[in-house]
Structure 1
Amino acid sequence: MSFAIYPSLKNTTVIVTGGASGIGAEVVEAFAAQGSRVGMIDLDGDRGAAKKAEMDGRGLPFAFEKCDLRDIDALKSSIAALKSALGPATVLVNNAARDDRHPWTEVTPDYYDERIATNLRHMFFAIQAVAPDMIAAGKGSIINFGSNSWWEGAGGMPVYTSSKAAVHGMTRSFARDLGPHRIRVNTVVPGWVMTERQKSLWATPEALEKHRQRQCLPDLIDPVYLARMVLFLASDDAAMCTANNYMVEAGSI
């Protein structure tokens, strides 16, 4: 399968959160293939170090910062370190999240706050940290990852779906506030994407067949297709795209 090359992404500094595995890893690889300068933030130090060694071996501009995104001071320090290594970012991909299942009857205030910190709060403060450099550059693209789970009315993870629904409101508000600086803010909405995590935890034959019947398209969604949408939204080709949801869910809603 042949994919597009976006000249506007060459030498562009990009920050990707949660880039060590899953969709984020595919996004990191996709930007590297475009000739972008990629900064990755992730809690998984081993995978991050391995990716750094691989990228260095390929001669690609890449930096990695190990960070627990629930710690906002650490997040800000990591973004500052990536700026020092790669230059100011004009693309931010807020990808990091965890869709852990949790029955509503067992959610405590502490668990609720921790899930919001894991799935929503860091996105806001990452935008706050990178936006000044985008304003100085007179352009930027911020891509927040939502989820089709709440659109579908999925159960079994109400704090996760609450946080992902909130991403859409955050996107639209930031798009309004940052738009005068030609900074675009969008949400990418994945369907059920076949990452290793999904396949190992929840993708039983029965669940997959039920989901196939819900989708308009018969094929399961590979992470590469989310990465392709992210590249488009980051590129100059999407110069008039902002404040919107871009669905990559095979028609399941």
Structure 2
Amino acid sequence: MNNEKGAGMQAVYADLNGKTVLISGGASGIGEALVCAFAQQGAKVAFVDMAQSQGEALAARLSAQGHHVAFAPCDVTDEAAYQAAIERFAQTLGPVTVLVNNAANDVRHSLEEVDASKFDKLISVNLKHAFFASQAVVPMMKAAGAGSVINLGSIGWMMASSGYPVYAASKAATHGLTRALARELGPWRIRVNTLVPGWVMTEKQLALWVDDAARELISRSQCLPGSVEPGHIAQMALFLASDASAMCSAQNFIVDGGWV
């Protein structure tokens, strides 16, 4: 899949050159587009994912192109291991001043089938890691005098979509986390925003969920024709990471073709 698809003419944010950016779930889908977009801006990109072979291949490809990219296989639901990986990235690439909390799993589930263990696992992969990654990088941002935390939300809960109640609850909570941290961290010029994708045409979505009925729903629901691609999400992330959004915090930035 071409992860630059949907990017169009990519804006250049000179202030991102040399910044250390941390991205979770960066080996495929939206995450891969994020890694590529930040690398192309000259940022030093660190990313984690459980898909080790995919992550290593992406890091190798971008490094061969002259970009500064580092990958570590990591389960973000293991908070201690994730925070340790973040510290290693900071030691090799420099203090993290942009954090993109992208990792998530929108696996379908029903109210009846979820037990306490599954509930906790879904919360961990869709919400908890964002809190502990923020905890790890905020001291670096405070020392730097500024920073940007970008939490990936979802329009799913806004639309009252069915089929993934714990995922929807996690993403709604992500918006609350954004608002709370934006207020708490603002005095240090640390901005916290929620980047809210619509139905993005990743390989996973196309393989599992997007059939003719889904395409008809998308066409009927979006104001704009066409598909929301990973590159569209990455372009908004670049803006939110850069000084171009210097007075943007505690906000939702929706990229959904005009669905909600």
TM-score bin, normalised by smaller chain: over 0.9
Any unmatched runs of 5+ in structure 2?
Answer: 1-7
Aligned counterpart in structure 1 of residue 178 of structure 2, from 171, 178, 196: 171
Mapped to 2, the partners of 1:218 and 1:57 lie a distance apart of: 36
Q: Does 1:131 align with 2:148?
A: no
Q: Does 1:102 align with 2:109?
A: yes
Q: 1:63·1:85 contact (CA, 8 Å) conserved in 2? A: no
Letter in 2 for 1:57: A
Mapped to 1, the partners of 2:256 and 2:63 lie a distance apart of: 34
Letter in 2 for 1:181: W
Q: 2:23·2:99 contact (CA, 8 Å) conserved in 1? A: yes
1:180-216 C-alpha deviation (Å, 9 max, x unpaired): 0000000000000000000000000111111210111
Q: Does 1:245 align with 2:252?
A: yes
- 1:230 corresponds to: 237
Aligned counterpart in structure 1 of residue 128 of structure 2, from 99, 117, 121: 121
- The Cα of 1:56 is off from its aligned counterpart by 2.2
Aligned counterpart in structure 2 of residue 196 of structure 1, from 198, 203, 206: 203
- The Cα of 1:60 is off from its aligned counterpart by 1.4
SS at match of 2:72: strand
Q: 1:103·1:157 contact (CA, 8 Å) conserved in 2? A: yes
Mapped to 2, the partners of 1:52 and 1:10 lie a distance apart of: 18
User: When the two structures are aligned, how many residues end up with a matched partner?
Assistant: 253
1:29-72 C-alpha deviation (Å, 9 max, x unpaired): 00011000000111111011111211221121111111001100
SS at match of 2:150: strand
Mapped to 2, the partners of 1:132 and 1:85 lie a distance apart of: 17
Mapped to 2, the partners of 1:5 and 1:188 lie a distance apart of: 19
CA RMSD of aligned residues (A): 0.7
Q: Does 1:187 align with 2:163?
A: no
Q: TM-score, normalised by structure 1?
A: 0.99
Q: Does 1:28 align with 2:35?
A: yes
SS at match of 1:105: coil
- 1:69 corresponds to: 76
Q: 2:193·2:252 contact (CA, 8 Å) conserved in 1? A: yes
- 1:13 corresponds to: 20
Structure 1's consecutive aligned runs of 4 or more residues displaced over 2 angstroms after TM superposition are none
Aligned counterpart in structure 1 of residue 154 of structure 2, from 133, 147, 151: 147
Mapped to 1, the partners of 2:63 and 2:174 lie a distance apart of: 34
